[in-house]
Structure 1
């Protein structure tokens, strides 16, 4: 299978299901679209498992201790910036209500919370880092991207990939900074697990922050 296809398919499935979620929200008013998230995360996780043997960059599991600490630090810094960079000009369109796991009586559905955090912290980072950093960021530098040492990615490729990553998010400015941070981390460590760990840290801690503060708009 094509190297581009196997790194794009999980991401494409995620975006396709995201579009379906919007359609169902508008037209299937009797369906609780919040339950599409665990379905979406499950389908993407299944695709990653089936295609795992093709992801040579993820078969290198060892991260040096200093790179683990750096990845955790980057993830925390991105989180702090993410929850503060939400001024009007930093958003693409209007900020919605977000993913609110509360029922009609106002109680939090902890199963929905568990699915949301697990998907965001365990599935999304692998899916997105494979697509945005391992594939696109390297491909923008060199068409035969698998043969390219991540450390040789230039500033232009980093900026373009990060800008495209930014417009995937309502908080485009925070997304741009996150893309630059994760992209730089991949270049610096030459190990895709570094941005995966950073991304997972950001998303996992963001979940804890959202549930604690009930600022659902960040979901």
Structure 2
């Protein structure tokens, strides 16, 4: 039972990482970034397919038990994380250089790609990542039977390790750690995974709008 629950929360995340690895390998083999833009649609499609296939097994998502205050806090947290994200971007705060995602073709924005990118980042990625980082890893670091572990009981060790790893997963590692800490606190205090999912979705959604408005393609 525990092994199956683990698979259901880890597999979508690993599928997402696989496509990142695949894009990197194809790039190293000489494929231009422009040729690989279709991979994002495939990546999000596969992740969404896995989430939908196992949707009935995600007991932590069965009920949206957030009151008005909790929703407001999540929305505010997501917005603050966005503001910090675009500020914490100096050289020493980043790992390598992100290729980004430029949706323009001959100088014109392909809006189908933009809408897909924003929808994937704001609606699919937050669910996938919060299921892995918060619901699974944060609790699993303290107890193999992680589903029986209340979020508020997460140890300092689990908090630090999960936040550090979440940060390193991102090119902007410091911004990633700040985001990871904020989402984790929301989860621990509310006891509902919907709280960090909502905040995460706001961060990614507002970031997408900001990227489009100013052409900050490297943030994608």
What's the TM-score bracket when you normalise by the shorter of the two chains?
over 0.9
Other-structure match for 1:159: 160
Instruction: Compute the displacement of 1:149 (Å).
Output: 0.9
Looking at structure 2, the residues matched to 38 and 77 of structure 1 have their Cα atoms a distance apart, in angstroms, of 28
Q: Please, which of 75, 85, 89 is the counterpart of residue 78 of structure 2? A: 75
Q: Please, which of 41, 44, 48 is the counterpart of residue 45 of structure 1? A: 48
Instruction: Compute the displacement of 1:26 (Å).
Output: 2.7
Other-structure match for 1:168: 169
Other-structure match for 1:35: 38
Looking at structure 2, the residues matched to 29 and 180 of structure 1 have their Cα atoms a distance apart, in angstroms, of 36
Looking at structure 2, the residues matched to 206 and 100 of structure 1 have their Cα atoms a distance apart, in angstroms, of 14
Looking at structure 1, the residues matched to 98 and 161 of structure 2 have their Cα atoms a distance apart, in angstroms, of 27
Looking at structure 2, the residues matched to 114 and 174 of structure 1 have their Cα atoms a distance apart, in angstroms, of 24
Structure 2 SS opposite 1:141: coil
Looking at structure 1, the residues matched to 206 and 78 of structure 2 have their Cα atoms a distance apart, in angstroms, of 9
Other-structure match for 2:64: 61
Looking at structure 1, the residues matched to 167 and 21 of structure 2 have their Cα atoms a distance apart, in angstroms, of 18
Looking at structure 1, the residues matched to 145 and 99 of structure 2 have their Cα atoms a distance apart, in angstroms, of 42
Other-structure match for 1:113: 114
- CA offset digits 1:84-137 (Å, max 9, x no partner): 1001110012x234111011x211111110110010001000000000000000
Structure 2 SS opposite 1:32: helix
- What TM-score do you get using the length of structure 2 for normalisation? 0.95
Structure 1 SS opposite 2:37: helix
Looking at structure 2, the residues matched to 211 and 188 of structure 1 have their Cα atoms a distance apart, in angstroms, of 33
Looking at structure 2, the residues matched to 212 and 204 of structure 1 have their Cα atoms a distance apart, in angstroms, of 13
- Single out whichever of 203-212 and 15-24 deviates more from structure 2: 15-24
Q: Judging changes above 3 Å, is the alpha-carbon distance between structure 1 residues 197 and 32 closer, same or farther for their aligned structure 2 residues?
A: same
Structure 2: give runs of 5+ residues left out of the alignment: none
Matched, 1:10 2:16: no
Q: Kindly tell me the number of residue pairs found equivalent between the two proteins.
A: 217
RMSD: 1.2
Other-structure match for 1:91: 94
Contact 2:98–2:171 under 8 Å retained in 1: no
- Single out whichever of 53-62 and 200-209 deviates more from structure 2: 53-62
Q: Which runs of 4+ in 1 moved over 3 A?
A: none
Instruction: Compute the displacement of 1:28 (Å).
Output: 5.6
- CA offset digits 1:22-66 (Å, max 9, x no partner): 122232627711111011001100000001111100102221111
